[in-house]
Amino acid sequence: MDQVKISRALLSVSDKSGIVELGQALAAQGVELVSTGGTAKALRDAGLEVRDISDLTGFPEMMDGRVKTLHPKVHGGLLAVRGNAEHVAAMDAHDIGAIDLVVVNLYPFAQTVARGAGREEVIENIDIGGPSMVRSAAKNHESVAILTDPADYPLVFGGETSLDQRRKFAAKAYAATAAYDAAIAGWFAHVDQGERFPASVVVPMIKQSELRYGENPHQIAALYTQAAGGVNGIAQARQVQGKELSYNNYNDADAALELVSEFRDGPPTVVIVKHANPCGVATGATLVEAYEAAFACDTVSAFGGIIAVNRPLDGPTAEAISGIFTEVVAAPDADDAARAVFARKKNLRLLLTGDLPDPARRGRTMKSIAGGFLIQSRDNGALGDLKIVTKRQPTEQELADCRFAWTVAKHVKSNAIVYARDGAIAGIGAGQMNRLESARIAAWKAKDAAEKAGWDQPRTIGSAVASDAFFPFADGLLAAVEAGATAVIQPGGSIRDDEVIAAADEAGLAMVFTGIRHFRH
């Protein structure tokens, strides 16, 4: 059967959005409406004639509504194969009427969990009858239409459905019940049972958009968000202007937002990212001062980069950013002057994020490997007490620069070396196979920046240097000394720590150990 006329519809929804309009449209087509509890009341209050589910089944709703649709006269009417003589005979023998349309959305389990409800209330918001009807109707989609999304209601206003529609409805319905069950399973495992890594992991996600292509033009890509309980970030940002975001835009913008969020309670801060690595980071008295200092870190890499800021954008900052080609700018908000400036750059994407993510939030990250996935807790480790391991004590300014460099190094691909001075990055060495090369690259970039800016000396002179993991040998430390660093922050923990500390003492450095590392692979 292709076209199926809807003669009887069963409506039982938690979210009442659009249900009255649907009921009115179906009633106008002569469809019999069968409903339950609050849904039936909403329809009757709108003046519609509704048959109670208890009248259909011959049994009252009972056990606080836990049992109302779990009945052969419901599921028989959904599952019966219309062209099967035995099924038709069974329907006749047991007075089971066919149901052509089911409209169901489920108890708000995820929302109940999100608002911090107690265990008993959470359990009561596990829907049983709803998913059962959804699955029955979806299985028999040759004859029955199942609607789980209010956005689809207008598609059946005409009182009939096509086979192509019913197939699409069924696919959407099974995805909805799968996501629902995944949320329940996740709550039981992580919250109720306190398991860090349960035996089975299902991550329900909802497609937001298909992208032009992936990392490269021969790859395809799409953006998905978590079905419930996720953090607001780049995926939820409001795009004010500019062309469609690409896979790489999302990836780089996420890297920039995560780093600038480390400074969400700090002074005005600007982060510039290129290929998921920061190439400029600085704080300042104003946002435009912070941008100018961040841009000076690496004026070459900043071209075509991604910028994130921790304050609402103003006109002067927007004017400064507009001085070069920039792919994406992410900010909590932007004033009218900033928006007017960016409006002249039609291809620039302006993303407004609202609140910045909490860098200390819990969560898990996932990475695919051949044949599987690696899942780990987020790197939300924060600096605690620093252990001074050299003879020379660091000054207050050196300690501040150490902390600043360390915060940025957390977001640089390993092996990572970061020089910082006076609240601005001086040089970054990222992604090298040994730490010595990262130290040399960072120093070279700082020297290059000084030449381009016309400074007397690179900003590595008198800087603090951060290493995301311990120095396995003294050579990386000595490269930092050659670059002019006067203070070092690193995790410590190498079997050659004594050798590295001795080299620092000989060079007159101040060095602190964090006891925590930040590999980023």
What residues are labeled active site? 139, 275
Measure the CA–CA gap between 74 and 144, rounded to whole angstroms.
Answer: 13
Would you tell me how many other CB atoms lie within 10 Å of the CB of residue 355?
10
Beta strand 101-105 pairing with 145-147: parallel
CA distances from 492 to 39, 472, 495 (A): 63, 9, 9
Measure the CA–CA gap between 236 and 225, rounded to whole angstroms.
Answer: 8
Measure the CA–CA gap between 302 and 270, rounded to whole angstroms.
Answer: 12
Q: Which residue has the tokens 């120095």?
A: 471
Cβ atoms of residues 54 and 46 within 8 Å: no
Measure the CA–CA gap between 109 and 124, rounded to whole angstroms.
Answer: 9
Cβ atoms of residues 465 and 445 within 8 Å: no
**What is the DSSP-derived secondary structure letter of residue 236?**
G
Strand ranges in 275-423 using DSSP code E only, listed in sequence order: 277-283, 305-309, 326-331, 349-352, 364-369, 372-377, 387-388, 417-421
DSSP percent split of the chain into helix, strand, coil, nearest 5:
40, 20, 40
Residue 433 burial (10 A CB sphere; 0-12, 13-18, 19+): exposed
Q: Which residue has the tokens 């329940």?
A: 184
Measure the CA–CA gap between 8 and 156, rounded to whole angstroms.
Answer: 13
Would you tell me how many other CB atoms lie within 10 Å of the CB of residue 174?
17
The DSSP H or E segment spanning 103 is strand 101-105
